[in-house]
């Protein structure tokens, strides 16, 4: 399937005028970029067919779950994505490794919603606005961050990236009132007026002010008393 994109997703934000530098590293995080000028047909995000999975890690274990997408649009001009934006409900965050309604679930959910992490009372949503899309070339490289090794070392970018990525996607991701531009590889398809995109990548949560338990401040990592700064995101997006 032919798919040529000049600018345009996430998802996390997420389809780009590209962030600085050649697309040889993932995930680049830079200052916010100019949002792509949307042209052509406007497609609507299908929240029921869109999932945003997250995973956070610490030496003694990990937690994972989903964040619901609530609204979004994607602009397509022929076979080109030209823009789009998506909104995610932080207050609707789910934790899938704990039993919902349990004491531990409530404690962790409350902590994630608190100013230690998302500060959801003041910032109940996250957004992604497309700034550009580039073709993923055969010679492009998925690079992995060197992590402190424990039983629960975060998954690497190369492990999270979908098979046969087709494009590099860039966009402005806003969380907790902070906007950064991110770029990541994705497998994108457009057919019969339906666009689907799959992506998996890591971000450094501290770039958005989610600094509780920052591993960089861990005096003695051997005591395992820190939370990895790396958070894994996996996106499965559909718009029609």
Local confidence pLDDT in tens for the 240 residues of the chain: 333 333 333 333 333 333 333 333 447 788 988 998 888 889 999 999 999 999 999 998 999 999 999 999 988 887 778 888 999 999 999 999 999 999 999 999 999 999 999 999 999 999 999 999 888 998 998 989 999 999 999 999 999 999 999 989 999 999 999 999 999 999 999 888 899 999 999 999 999 999 999 888 777 676 677 999 999 999 999 999
DSSP code for 214: B
Instruction: Look at domain 28-239 and name its CATH class.
Output: mainly beta
Compute the distance between CA of residue 238 and CA of residue 48 in angstroms, rounded to an integer.
9
pLDDT at site 217: 78
Of 56, 104, 50, 96, nearest in space to 204 by CA: 56
As a whole number of Å, the end-to-end CA separation of the chain is 17
The domains of the chain are located at 28-239
Residue 47: its pLDDT value, please?
Answer: 94
Alpha-carbon distance of 168 to 133, in angstroms, equals 6
What's residue 61's pLDDT? 94
Say what the pLDDT of residue 22 is: 36
Preceding omega of 222 cis (within 30 degrees of 0) = no
pLDDT at residue 63, as a whole number: 98
Q: What is the pTM of this model?
A: 0.85
Helices (H), 38-180: 103-113, 157-160
Predicted pLDDT at 224? 74
Q: Alpha-carbon distance 24 to 142, whole Å?
A: 7
Strands (E), 165-229: 167-175, 178-191, 194-204
pLDDT the model gives residue 131: 95
* Long-range CB contacts (within 8 A, 24+) of 90-95: 90/118, 90/120, 90/123, 90/124, 90/125, 90/126, 90/175, 91/120, 91/124, 92/67, 92/68, 93/54, 93/65, 93/66, 93/67, 93/118, 94/65, 94/66, 94/67, 94/68, 95/63, 95/64, 95/65
What pLDDT score does 118 carry?
A: 97
């Amino acid at each position: 399937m032919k798919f040529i994109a000049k600018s345009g997703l996430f998802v996390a934000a997420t389809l780009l005028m590209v962030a600085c530098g050649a697309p040889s590293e993932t995930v680049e995080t830079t200052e916010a970029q100019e949002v792509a000028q949307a042209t052509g047909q406007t497609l609507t995000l299908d929240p029921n067919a869109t999932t945003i999975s997250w995973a956070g890690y610490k030496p003694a274990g990990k937690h994972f779950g989903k964040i619901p997408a609530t609204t979004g649009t994607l602009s397509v001009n022929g076979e080109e994505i030209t823009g789009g934006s998506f909104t995610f409900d932080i207050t609707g965050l789910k934790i899938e490794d704990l039993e919902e309604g349990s004491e531990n679930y409530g404690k962790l959910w409350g902590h994630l919603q608190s100013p230690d992490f998302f500060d959801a009372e003041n910032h109940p949503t996250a957004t992604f606005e497309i700034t550009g899309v580039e073709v993923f070339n055969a010679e492009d490289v998925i690079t992995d961050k060197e992590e402190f090794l424990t039983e629960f070392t975060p998954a690497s970018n190369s492990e999270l990236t979908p098979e046969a990525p087709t494009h590099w996607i860039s966009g402005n991701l806003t969380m907790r009132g902070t906007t950064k531009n991110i770029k990541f590889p994705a497998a994108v398809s457009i057919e019969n007026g339906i666009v689907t995109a799959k992506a998996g990548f890591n971000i450094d949560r501290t770039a958005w002010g989610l600094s509780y338990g920052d591993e960089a401040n861990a005096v003695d990592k051997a005591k395992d008393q820190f939370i990895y700064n790396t958070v894994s995101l996996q996106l499965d997006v559909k718009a029609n």
